[in-house]
Copies of this chain bind each other. A is one copy, B any other.
């Protein structure tokens, strides 16, 4: 996990964050109130976004990053280059990181994609971003081919 100034990011990463930020607008969450937007960049250069949907369903609610990744896969794009996640700022400017369900799903996505892609996380008003990766977010992750090294 690295903390960076947004200016230190590559141009395509800045643009991906911008797409994630725009996706926050389509978030629907009267339940817990936190709005999220995510954007996936594929190897072919396409961008897929997702906005969280939290309503009555609790257990069936969907987070922004799962939707973005699933949209890419459903469009036949299974090579992922990077994921950006933007959310409203929490209390005292805290940044929200992906939930465990998304991390589990993303390890699958990562395995199918064939790479441990970067995950860039930012609170809406923050000037700094956190850069991590799928496997860093889920150490010793569960999967059927996992081995202790």
Contact = CB atoms under 8 A, between A and B. Distances in A.
Interface of A: 1, 23, 25-26, 28, 31-32, 34, 49-51, 53-64, 66-68, 70-71, 73-76, 78, 90-92, 94-105, 107-109, 111-112, 130, 132, 136-148
A53 B57 CA distance: 14
> Top 9 A-B pairs ranked by shortest CB distance?
A100-B104, A55-B108, A100-B100, A56-B143, A99-B142, A60-B105, A51-B74, A97-B140, A100-B103
A31 B58 contact: yes
A62 B57 contact: no
Nearest to A75: B26
Contacts of A71: 50, 67, 70-71, 74
A73 B58 contact: no
Nearest to A50: B74
A55 B123 CA distance: 22
Contacts of A99: 57-60, 100, 104, 141-142
Contact of A76 (B26, B56, B100, B147): B26
Given A66-B62, A144-B56, A147-B92, A104 B107 contact: no
